[in-house]
Amino acid sequence: MPRNDHSDIRLLTIILNWRTPEMTLRAARSALDAMRGIEGGIVIVDNDSGDGSELWLREAVAAQGWAPRVRVVQSGRNGGFGAGNNAGIRAGLADGAAADFVYVLNSDAFPDAQAITALLAHMRAHPRAGLAGSQLEGEDGVPHVSAFRFPSLLSEIEGPLRFGPVSRLLGRHSVWMRMPGQSGPVDWVAGASLMMRAGMLDATGGFDEGFFLYFEETDLCRRARAAGFETHFVRESHVRHIGSVSTGMGSWTRVPEYWYDSRRRYFRRHFGAAGSAAATALHLLSGGLHRLRCLVMRRETGDPPGFLRGMIRHELGHVAGPCRASARKRA
């Protein structure tokens, strides 16, 4: 049976701030409410915001009387999502004690009163679960897709092509999935509300800091599976999530280079250089066919402007770089 008493464990909650101090404080307040009866604390990591966020947060935490349960630390550089959260893991609890679980919460995510205890109860009832994610919802209460399948070569056909018959044929390879009706194992979960077992972090080394943004939680869940851990979706854990506040993804007019970098790093790590090249070729072919169909039907593609051109340019840049370096060595 799931446990409701978690007084015997220690939880480290990490909230990463980058130029959203008011929202980060709101997330910390929600997390504090959801951590009642749980030993541990919250580390707010300022990811080198450079806009006065760190001082503002330190003063706000002091004014609220939250110290030492809540403290603010400086990462020293804006290394992205994974690097910032790793800095919080290294900072640890205020008294230096080891945490049994680490909970990563986005600065634009606000757990309900039972959200954290639901994650802990589920993980304690399922010892093989190394990570567990919440059911994310908009501020209007509408559920968001929060659990996914791993990207694969076949998903690089289904996703970009967006063609009904192909999607039905390759449905079980689609990254996007119908949300499970009950809690249990999935491939990976959104990192906006993510509970992690300390043993899993020890086995995997935590987030790969080579990812600046995007694919880092996907990569961690995949490495955790290889190390013998499962990733679970916990339907009973509800978290309100605004989404893309720091990254601005919802208003992108052009996909940033770090998204292409992260995608390429994921495929090269898990499929090798040849597999990564194949994934990109399949994506470009499928995406090109989708654009051709949209042109004939006179409708929008649904992608940011220049998305495929950016992918081609990014891949050619990686091919040309080693060639130029080799030419310089021969010279």
Distance CA(221)–CA(232), nearest Å, equals 10
pLDDT digits over 202-213, tens only?
999 999 999 999
* CA distance readout (Å), 222 to 3, 164, 279, 321: 27, 28, 17, 29
Mean pLDDT computed over 95-124: 97
- The yes-or-no verdict on residue 294 having pLDDT over 90 is yes
Share of the chain above pLDDT 90, in %: 90
pLDDT band at 5 (very low <50, low <70, confident <90, very high): confident
- What is the average pLDDT value for the chain, to the nearest integer? 93
Domain 10-143+179-249: homologous superfamily in CATH: Spore Coat Polysaccharide Biosynthesis Protein SpsA; Chain A (3.90.550.10)
Mean pLDDT of 174-184: 95
CA dihedral 250→48→221→184, nearest 10 degrees, is: -70
Is 193:241 a contact under the CB 8 Å cutoff? yes
pTM of the model: 0.93
- pLDDT score at 1: 40
Give the residue-averaged pLDDT of 207-221.
97
